[in-house]
Every structure is written in structure tokens, then in C-alpha cells.
Amino acid sequence: MRKLSGVITAMTTPFRGDGSIDYGSLREQVDFLIQAGVDCLYPAGTTGEMLLCSVEERKRVAEAVIDQADGRVPVYIHVGCQMPADTIALAHHAVDAGADGIGVVTPMYFSLTDRALISYYESVCREVPEDFPVYAYAIPQLAGNDLSVSVVREIRERCNNLVGIKYSYPNMTRIAEYLAIGDGFSVLPGADHLFLPALALGCDGIVSGCSGPLPEIFVAIKQLYDADDLVQARQAQLNANRLIAIMRAGADISIFKYLLTRRGIAGGVVRPPLLQLPLEEYEQIHVQIEETIQSFSDESK
């Protein structure tokens, strides 16, 4: 099974002003990210505004990304929905569309027992082929349900195709506990500022929203780490952290879209109830990004 590793970019979904999806721009985003050196693509997740898309739209997004990637990098489709039937329908579609695997966020809003969470993930894992990889996705600060280590271990024991977890809460202790599950279990943080520390701890990579508009600096962190140049890798992570802060760490997806647009890839707008920022605020953010990147060059002289 082909697991996720390296820089896995959580892609944005480009919406036009009328609310429709700009699939042409989505395909351009695929090419932009692959050319920048990211290792894997992860559409239709939180950064992709998945809960603001219909099941049919999410199927079309998956098809466009898989088709445009054309095997150049692995594509994992996020399929998690509030209704289990929709999750399973999207999981079936991902298999049929040629995805390399799927991610599945916990159900939201209603508080679920450990038994309910185990049942949910077991049902999804059993609806896809035994050799088709599934990643659980925990983002408790938004979803309201967490995946304890004991729950993940139990699901893993029942389902061999649960190959890993994306954990988007910034808790290195929990990340270490997931890694202790062992037996090749893959752990990926979703907090961009933890990329290098997580690699050092033994994680396989990161699922990164901030790498969408600025993939190069995250690619550099991984390359420097792989080359055992930890001094420069540390500096690259510290540089990235300054940019992450300017981008509000993904708290406002519209910032990613604006920065993509400034780089020549139509990022589009966010869907209601999310709102755009005033144009002058985006422009200020862009200036801060440009000045900060320039300062990296000045500081290295």
C-alpha cells in the first residue's frame, strides 16, 4: 500500500464568484504544486472547504485532481462527511477514480463514544479493498471528536488498511504516542509549524495547508532534512514559521486563495458562510509575505 510521505499539500477548492467550482484553475493548481516539488496531493479536506461542497462536487474535484496529476504524485482524497453513507459513497468513488488512498475525518457535532468511533472507521475500512490505504483524520478543535491512541490502535488491529493518521492538533506528545503504535503505522501532523520536529520524531511528512500558496519552503525543509543538514533545515522551519504566522496558520482559507492568485493560479473565493477579507487586508498580507521572504535572503548574506 502506498502511504503518504513528505510534503502532502492540502489543496484549496477554487470557487468562482457565482459559487461554481473552477475546475480549470484546480487543474492549474495541481501542476503548480507538482512543479514546485510537493510529494502528494490531498484535495477536498478542511482546506478544500469539503463541508461546503456537495457529494457530487467532491466527486468531480477528486476526478479532476487524479486526472491532472496523472500518476506524477500520489493523490489521497479526503472523503469524510457528516453522514456515514456519504463518506462510504465518496470512498467507493475514490477507489473507482484511481486514488492512491483516502483520508477520513471524524464525524462532527455529536459527541461520539470510543465504541462509535471504532465502529465508524471499521465500517469505512471494510467498504474499500483490503489493500486500499485509509488514513484517519483527527482535528478535535474543529470536529469536536478526538481519536485516542487506544481507539486508533483498536481500529488498526481490526483493519490492516488503516495505515496511518493525520493529526491536526499541535500536540507532540500525542504524535509520539501514535508513533508508538508501531508496525509501520504512519503519523502525519497537520500543524505546519511542527513539520521539522515531527520528522525528527519519526513522522513520515506533513499534511500542509500553508504549502498550497508557498510550497517551496516546505519542500526545502524536507530536502534539507533528508540531506542531514539539520542546521539549515532548522533555519528553513523557523523561516516557514514566520510565513505561517502571517498566513494565520490556515485559520482563514481565503488568504491561501489570494496568495495563489498573486502567484498566477486563480485561487477563487471562499464559499458562504465563509467571507472574503477586505482587499486592502489581503494586500497588506501579500506585502508582509514578500518582505519576509526578502529578509531571508538579506539575513543569509
Cα–Cα distances (Å) from 229 to 188, 189, 192, 224, 298, in that order, read 21, 21, 20, 5, 21
Handedness of CA 69, 8, 254, 169 (dihedral sign): positive
Q: Annotated catalytic residue: which of 59, 166, 222, 257? A: 166
- As a whole number of angstroms, the distance between CA 62 and CA 42 comes to 9
Q: Which strands form 40-42's sheet, in the order they lie side by side? A: 40-42, 6-10, 205-208
Q: Annotated catalytic residue: which of 137, 167, 225, 282? A: 137
Contact 188, 206 (CB under 8 A): yes
- As a whole number of angstroms, the distance between CA 135 and CA 205 comes to 13
User: What are the grid coordinates assigned to 136, written together?
Assistant: 484517519
Contact 30, 65 (CB under 8 A): yes
Which of 141, 142, 148 minimizes the C-alpha distance to 165? 148
Which of 66, 76, 71 minimizes the C-alpha distance to 132? 76
Q: What angle do CA 256, 174, 178 make, to 5 degrees?
A: 100
User: What are the grid coordinates assigned to 46, written together?
Assistant: 478542511
Is 109 annotated in the active site? yes
Q: Annotated catalytic residue: which of 12, 13, 46, 87? A: 46
Based on its alpha-carbon atoms, the radius of gyration of the chain, rounded to whole angstroms, reads: 18
Name 272's Cβ contacts closer than 8 Å, sequence gap at least 6.
Answer: 52
Is 292 annotated in the active site? no
Is 13 annotated in the active site? no
Please provide the distance, in angstroms rounded to a whole number, between the alpha carbons at the two ends of the chain.
45
Contact 223, 242 (CB under 8 A): no
Is 166 annotated in the active site? yes
**Which residues are catalytically annotated?**
46, 109, 137, 166
